[in-house]
Amino acid sequence: MNQQANVTKINKRKVLITGGNGFIGKNLAKYLHNHGDNVRIVDISQDSSEKSENYCSEFIHGDLRDLSICRKAIKGRNWVFHLASEINESYDLNNFIAYKNNHLITINMVQASIEAGIDRFFYASSTCIHSHEKQLNPDELDLKENDLWDLWYQYYSNNGPSLYGCEKINGEILLSQSINSTKIRIARFDNVFGEGNKWIGRGENIIASLIRKVICSFNEQGYYEIDIKNSDDEIQSFLYIKDCIDVIIKIMESDYYKPLNIGSENSVSIKELIYMTLETIGITKEQVKFIMDENSIQKNKNSDNILIHQVLGWTPKTSIRESIEKTTIWIKSEIEKELNKCENELTRKKLKERYRESSSETKIFDDEIKFGILLPITSRGLKNPKDCLYNLKNFAKSVYETTQMDIMSMNGRKFSLNFFIGIDKDDILFQPKENNIAEQILKEYGFMDVKTREFDLPPGSICKIWNDLAIDAYNHMCDYIVLFGDDIIIESTNWMSKTHEEFIKISNEKKVPLGFGIVAFTELTFPGFPTFPIMSRTNINIFGGKPFPVIFTNQDADPFLFQLYRRFDCSVMSKHLKLRNLIGGSRKPRYKRIYHDWRFSVLDNAVLSVEKWLHNTMETPIPKLITLDIIIPSYRVQMQYLEPIFRLKRSKTASTMIIIIVDNPNSPNIKDLKKFEYDAFVRIRVQGKNLGASEARNRGLSESSADYVLFLDDDVIPDPDILIEAEKVIRKYPNACGFIGCTKFPDPSKSIFTSAVEMSGITYFWDIAEKIEENIPWGVTANLLVRRYKDNIMFNTTFPKTGGGEDVDYCLQKSQFFIKNIPNSEGFRAAPSVKAVHPWWNNGKRSYLRFAKWAYGDGQLIAMYPEYRYKDNFPNSAELFLLLSSLLLNFLFMKILINDQILNELTLVTTISIPLVVLANMIFDVIRFVIMEHESYVPELKGYRRIIAASEAAIIRIASELGRLVGKLNRREWNYIRWRFDWFTNRLGDDTKNIEKRFSMIRFNIWAILVLSAFCFVRFNNSHESERLLV
């Protein structure tokens, strides 16, 4: 025994750590990961405080009670550290459940390890295996390894260890009988503590709990009042986490395979621990008053480390005093962080009081958690009414198969199910009501708590039936209420316990009462839409005994509930809760869908009710979030632009849903887009056919129920902070009807064509937010932030599908409505920080048709808004083309009848005049951009390239004017020729109109001079030719 065990170091090990997100497991994983080992961890819980790649090579989220998970986790590993365990030493039902779970995990891990042929298996046992009677004996402090078997018959019949300790004993026996002894390493842990240990709540460490109480125990009388649950003279053994990791590695690398105690060298009493903590924070013993639990029993427990010292030469490196000091400093800083989050001194005081008290899991629910399933059933709408019974049997079977572990308390808590059936009064399939066939089917699967209620309602009144059944479930004391249908199949096992875990998670993370919020199933046939929600009793309490407003008939009650609690960041569509809807969802239902307008006043009133309830219930109510949705119409479905939008930075004080309306059902990229639709905050809708940008945006508006929507084009690159910046301007100017974002194009000077586009003024309004601060007339929908309001303003679908003018019309309607109807409101404001980049269309390749199509549509604005139109004194290029073409046709026709020299000259001059229109425009733009405004519009462009770009800018403007004229002619708006639209809508008075008129006059005069010159040249040539002929 005095000879030390051999120790062999092995590098680059492939390691599995079960319970790797626990305190010891995570520290062990970090140590091995940092030393170059390939570390895989498996845990039933995920660590939200830190990214797993910081401490392991691979993380598997799984339940080790499932043998297949164990096999998956252990594959390819040669070392296993089995640390997963549910610690519970109390003598109650949960103790038995913990025993059952822990032992099943150990059995599974042993079996998987044998199958995989692992090299070494570390088993985390505990000093809790020793009898309580021995721990109560003050003369026997040191617990030796052989004490276990020597005292078995003497003590264990009546005074054995807890079931947790018994499971550890059985685990040791199982290992010794199953795995080659040379592969086994067993360590019996004592109280392990240190920085990072859980210091409050279920699973908190005894030292961490004491330190927390000590730090927060100062009272108004000026002394520290410390409540001690245990006896202050109780003696315990503790081990600092770094020493724990050190000895685990030593044991694993050694060839010693028998159990070893690991603990501190010296035992210490609870009172001594408290004094060490007090000294660390600078408090003397005289300032302390102890409050003792008179019923506490003194338990003495110290680790005998003689054997481990003999075989490994190991002793702890960190003294108990030093480790207490380090842990105290860390816990003190963590407490301060939490206290600093408090909004006022009263809240800070209340939180300190909670920290000072003994901590245990808050008991909100009874031991049994009751679920009420609401089940409207009808044989209406089916070809064969008995198909309803087939659907019901499948549903009942799926419920049975997915709830048994919860009902039998296999997951640590007991659950029960009550069914509340709603049938049509005239549905003979379910008559008579008493013990009807639906009840019989459910009872065949063992569901005996079934209640049936008849309804005399129009067909398809599902929401109304849900409403009344929910009240029944509430009155029967159901804790959770599930809105189901008879045509679904549940696919997730243990969905009741998973639902409860989701509500606990909401409560813990959002600091709200347990039960607040909504949890929805993920419907695999209609992903992304929160159908079949689960509410708690709390929801019905909030609304005075009603689950939701009574306006709903058969649609929208489920999204209403989800959107309601979304305002408080308490809506979850759980990826752990899955079902299939065999008839409804995205498919055509058995009844006529009846929709109601709930997205404004109905939702707003419900939000006010929730806010009122929170203020009456909580000392520090959680604030309501701003809801801001992104709407993107997409024809091309270009994933290189769409995918980054899903990764935009999100604010914690705002909630964003991304709504993409695909306007091309034949796009080959839809399948790539669909992979994002399993997110409750991503909604992808595919139009049945191409309906155009306006229809797509309107569909997006109908899908949204947010406070604001941000319209983006499907080919823009938004700034990563665009949502954060959008929230800032919303909060700064809450009375604005919307905000015009700043959309930039890449450097235009790289190409003559893109420089020409910039010079033409086509892109002027894309970054108008940098030019005008407030009362901006309109902005492009490539980056437009709009406040949703019940104003019935939508995009006008008479504009072309490809766009052109609909954005101007929408913005004008919106701002006019707000200014006229909403007190203290204002129009659109600039939001220069809400940035996006728009790539040049078609990668900057030359094309004029796009601009002509836009102008074709925006020409409608002249007739629609008489207050913003003005008449030009001179025709533009397109109107000159029309005039000259008409004259030319007349002259040509007349030439057929009359052969006259003057007519010939007029025909020739008219023919020449047409291209002179283009030349005149080019000359004007060259003079303007090369001579007059050489520092504006792409100042980087110089020399001959600037001359060419200025010339091409004229061609782009002519293309737009032609498109606008063609639109007027097609719409028979003859009387609006020579009428123009003021793009600044009178914001700048007559200045811009006068400038445009002057430019028009100059272009016309240049053209007239050119025509006159051509006419003189023709006359001169003709007279010279006549003289030559006379000679």
DSSP string, 159-214: H---HHHHHHHHHHHHHHHHS-GGGEEEEEE-EEE-TT---SSTT--HHHHHHHHH
Other Cβ atoms closer than 10 A to 467 = 20
pLDDT at residue 853, as a whole number:
95
The H or E element that residue 438 is part of is: helix 437-444
290 φ, ψ (degrees, to nearest 5): -95, 135
Instruction: Give the residue from 992, 984, 949 showing the smallest Cα distance to 778.
Output: 984
How far is CA 564 from each of CA 517, 546, 572, 614, 905, rounded to the nearest angstrom?
9, 14, 12, 14, 77
Per-residue pLDDT for 105 more than 70?
yes
Q: How confident is the model at residue 93 (pLDDT cuts 50, 70, 90)?
A: very low
Q: What is the pLDDT of residues 534-583, one digit of tens each?
A: 999 999 999 988 888 878 876 788 889 999 999 999 999 998 999 988 76
Higher pLDDT, 594 or 449: 449
Q: How far is CA 486 from the centre of its chain?
A: 30
The H or E element that residue 72 is part of is: helix 67-74
For 798, half-sphere exposure in the C-beta direction (CA atoms, 13 angstrom radius) is: 10
Burial of 198 (0-12, 13-18, 19+ CB in 10 A): middle
Report d(CA 95, CA 686) in Å as an integer: 52
Per-residue pLDDT for 339 more than 60?
yes
Per-residue pLDDT for 65 more than 90?
no
pLDDT at residue 132, as a whole number:
47
Give percent of the chain with pLDDT exceeding 70.
87
Structural contact between residues 418 and 373, judged by C-beta atoms closer than 8 angstroms:
yes
Structural contact between residues 540 and 461, judged by C-beta atoms closer than 8 angstroms:
no
pLDDT at residue 187, as a whole number:
92
Q: How confident is the model at residue 71 (pLDDT cuts 50, 70, 90)?
A: very high
Other Cβ atoms closer than 10 A to 260 = 25
How far is CA 355 from each of CA 213, 224, 287, 339, 950, rounded to the nearest angstrom?
6, 14, 19, 10, 73
189 φ, ψ (degrees, to nearest 5): -75, 150
Q: How confident is the model at residue 960 (pLDDT cuts 50, 70, 90)?
A: very high
Report d(CA 677, CA 452) in Å as an integer: 37
Structural contact between residues 313 and 5, judged by C-beta atoms closer than 8 angstroms:
no
Q: What is the pLDDT of residues 383-425, one digit of tens each?
A: 777 788 888 999 999 999 999 888 876 656 789 999 999 988 8
pLDDT at residue 361, as a whole number:
37
pLDDT at residue 366, as a whole number:
44
Q: How confident is the model at residue 94 (pLDDT cuts 50, 70, 90)?
A: very low
Report d(CA 1010, CA 1012) in Å as an integer: 5
Instruction: Give the residue from 464, 471, 463 showing the smallest Cα distance to 540.
Output: 471
Other Cβ atoms closer than 10 A to 807 = 24
Average pLDDT of the residues in 863-877: 95
Higher pLDDT, 531 or 726: 726
pLDDT at residue 343, as a whole number:
66
* Alpha carbon distance, N-terminus to C-terminus of the chain: 141
Per-residue pLDDT for 675 more than 90?
no
pLDDT at residue 174, as a whole number:
86
Higher pLDDT, 553 or 442: 442
Per-residue pLDDT for 907 more than 90?
no
Instruction: Give the residue from 23, 136, 37 showing the smallest Cα distance to 84.
Output: 23
Q: How confident is the model at residue 199 (pLDDT cuts 50, 70, 90)?
A: confident
Higher pLDDT, 891 or 916: 916
Q: Are strands 488-490 and 571-581 parallel, antiparallel or unpaired?
A: antiparallel
Residue type (1 letter), 142? D
SS3 category, 939:
coil
Tokens representing 693 are 């940008």
Mean pLDDT of the chain: 85
Tokens representing 325 are 């000091």
Report d(CA 1020, CA 1023) in Å as an integer: 5
Kindly state the DSSP code that residue 927 receives in the 8-state scheme: I
pLDDT at residue 269, as a whole number:
76
pLDDT at residue 545, as a whole number:
87
Q: How far is CA 638 from the centre of its chain?
A: 22
Domains identified in the chain and CATH numbers: 1-189 (3.40.50.720), 198-235+268-300+309-361 (3.90.25.10), 368-617 (3.90.550), 631-847 (3.90.550.10), 871-1018 (no CATH)
Per-residue pLDDT for 160 more than 60?
no
Contact residues for 223 (Cβ-Cβ < 8 A; gap 6+)? 287, 288, 289
Report d(CA 87, CA 94) in Å as an integer: 10
Q: Are strands 682-686 and 658-662 parallel, antiparallel or unpaired?
A: parallel
Report d(CA 57, CA 46) in Å as an integer: 15
Report d(CA 293, CA 86) in Å as an integer: 27
Average pLDDT of the residues in 433-453: 88
Q: How confident is the model at residue 360 (pLDDT cuts 50, 70, 90)?
A: very low
Q: How confident is the model at residue 166 (pLDDT cuts 50, 70, 90)?
A: confident
Residue type (1 letter), 262? I
DSSP annotation string for 585-650: TTS--SS-------TTHHHHHHHHHHHHHHHHH-SSPPPPPEEEEEEEEESS--HHHHHHHHT---
Give percent of the chain with pLDDT exceeding 90.
52
Q: How confident is the model at residue 980 (pLDDT cuts 50, 70, 90)?
A: very high
CA-based radius of gyration for the chain: 39
Structural contact between residues 585 and 677, judged by C-beta atoms closer than 8 angstroms:
no
Report d(CA 693, CA 872) in Å as an integer: 31
Residue type (1 letter), 325? E
Strands (DSSP E) contained in 344-485 are 368-377, 414-424, 450-455, 480-483
Q: What angle do CA 367, 373, 378 make, to 5 degrees?
A: 165
Q: What is the pLDDT of residues 801-832, one digit of tens each?
A: 888 999 999 999 999 999 999 999 999 999 99
pLDDT at residue 97, as a whole number:
67
Residue type (1 letter), 954? A
SS3 category, 486:
coil
